[in-house]
Amino acid sequence: MAYLLGIDVGTTGTKSLLVDENGHIAARATVEYPLHTPQPGWAEQDPADWWRATVQSIREVFAGSGVQPSQVAGLGLSGQMHGSVFLDAAGQVLRPAILWCDQRTAAQCEWITQRAGAEVVVAETCNPVLTGFTAPKIVWLQQHEPAAWERVAKVLLPKDYVRYLLTGEFATEVSDASGTSLLNVRERRWSAAMLQAVGMKEAMLPAVFESPEISGEVTAQAAEATGLLAGTPVVGGGGDQAAGAVGNGIVEPGVISVTTGTSGVVFAHMDTPETDPELRTHTFCHAVPGKWHVMGVMLSAGGSLRWYRDNLGSEEVAIADRLGVDPYQVLCDEAAHAEAGCRGLIFLPYLSGERTPYPDPQARGVFFGLSLWHRREHLVRAVLEGVCYGLRDSLEILKGMGLAVRQVRASGGGARSALWRQMQADVNNCELVTINVDEGPAFGACLLAGVGAGIYPSVPEACRRTIQVTERTLPNAADAAVYERYYQVYRRLYPALKDRFQDLA
C-alpha cells in the first residue's frame, strides 16, 4: 500500500503526518519550538528551528509506524502563512523570520498602498495590504535594516524554506503566495505592479505552482537527514488555511469550515474570485486548482484561551497535573458551570490586534461587564464565548456576500471540546458537524501529495474517498436566544472603543 506524508510548519511546532492511501493515520509526530517577541507587537522565529523539527518529526513517524521510506508515494507541505524568510545568494538565512502575527508594519502597509494605489492593490491582490502579510515585512526590512536588504537574494514563506532544504528548489504555490500582497490572485501569478511598488524583481521570489503539482524531489542530502527516499516527489502543498480546508473537505460551494487554532478562521470555497465590498475578509487562491476561497481571520482564537491558561489558569493547570489530563479540559469543565452569556460578561478577543472584521493592529482584549458577582468560571466561559462571537462576525460577512451556508464543519483544537462546539452552534444558531479526521493542514497536505502522485484523480475526489461526517451538534434554542442578545452588544463594543485603543497605542 502507498503512503503519503504531510508536513505542517506551524507557529508552535512542526507536525509530520503519515497516512495510507485510504486516509487512515499510520503515525503522527509534532516537535515544538519557541516564538520570540523581541519588542511588543513583534513575532519572530529562527527558520533553523523549523528544519530541525521537520527532520525530527519525519524520523519519529517512520520509527512509530514501521512504514518504509520506499512506500511514501509523495510529500506535501503546509505551514503558517505570510512569514518572511530572507536568504542571501548562498541560500543562508540573513535574520530571524518575521511572522504572520507580527504587527510592526502598519506604516509600511500605508506606504505600499499609497505607492501602488489602493485600487491597484485590490484589483491585483483582491485584498488590502495588512500588517500580517509579507510585502510590508519586505518594505520594513528595506527601511529599517538596509544592510541586510542589500544582501537579500530570495524571499521565501515558512513552508517554502523547508521545501528548499528538502528539494533544493525555490518554489511556492498559489494559496500561500496569495497572502504576500505580491500575487495577482485572479490570474494566479506574481503581480508586476505590486513587485514594482515594493522595489523587488520577480527573480527574488520562488516559482509559483498549483497546490497538487510536483515542485521538486527530495535530494540525497535531505534524504540522509530525514530518512526519506531520495527522489520522493514534493508537491506545492498549501498555506495552512487552504491545506486545512482540503483536510476538512471544503472543496465545493456551500460547505463552510470554522477552525479554532491559535487563530480562528471561517473558510468558504468559491468557483470565482469574489470579494467582500468592505474588504473585511480575504480572497485567496484555493489549493484546488483553478478555484478560490474567502476567509475571515481572527488573530487570537485558541490563542485567547492559551493566554488565559498561562496567565490566569495556574489553579486549573495544577488540577490537570494531578489528574493527568489536559489543562484545557479542566478549563472547559469549569466554564460549563457558568450559564450562557455569563450574566453580561463579554470578552473581546483582540489580544494580538485583529484582522476580521476590524483590520486594526492596535485593538486590544477587553473583559466588559465585570461585577463583584462574577467568578473564575465566568471569566473562562466569557473567553470561549468571545471567540465564538468573533467567529460569527466572519460568518455573517460570508452570508452577506451571498455565499450559501449549507453545512458548517468545526475543526482545530476548539472542535475537540463538546462545550465549545455547542457554544459555536448556539452563537451561530446553526448545526455544527465534525468529521472523521482532525489532523488539520497536515492531512490536507497528504491529500494534495496523493493527487500529485496520481493516487487520486483530483482534490475533490481525494476528499470524497477519505472524509466522512461523524458527529452533529444542534443549537439549543434557549441559549441561542441569549447569545443573540449578547452578540448584538459584542458587535457594538469595538466601534465604541476603537479610538481608545488608538489612545493606548
- Strands, DSSP E only, in 21-147? 25-32, 44-45, 72-79, 85-87, 97-98
SS3 299: coil
Show the 3-state SS of 392-433.
HHHHHHHHHCCCCCCEEEEEEHHHHCHHHHHHHHHHHCCCEE
SS3 355: coil
- Other CB atoms within 10 Å distance of the CB of residue 231: 10
Q: Which of 240, 276, 393, 426 is catalytic?
A: 240
Confirm whether 240 is a catalytic residue.
Answer: yes
Q: Which of 208, 211, 281 is nearest to 459 (CA)?
A: 211
Answer for the pair 478, 279: CB distance below 8 angstroms, yes or no: no
Whether the CA torsion 467, 15, 395, 118 is positive or negative: it is negative
Cell digits for 237?
502543498
Q: Determine how β-strand 13-20 pairs with β-strand 233-235.
A: unpaired
Cα distance between residue 64 and residue 25, in whole Å: 11
Answer for the pair 5, 72: CB distance below 8 angstroms, yes or no: yes
Cell digits for 223?
534524504
**Residues catalogued as catalytic:** 240
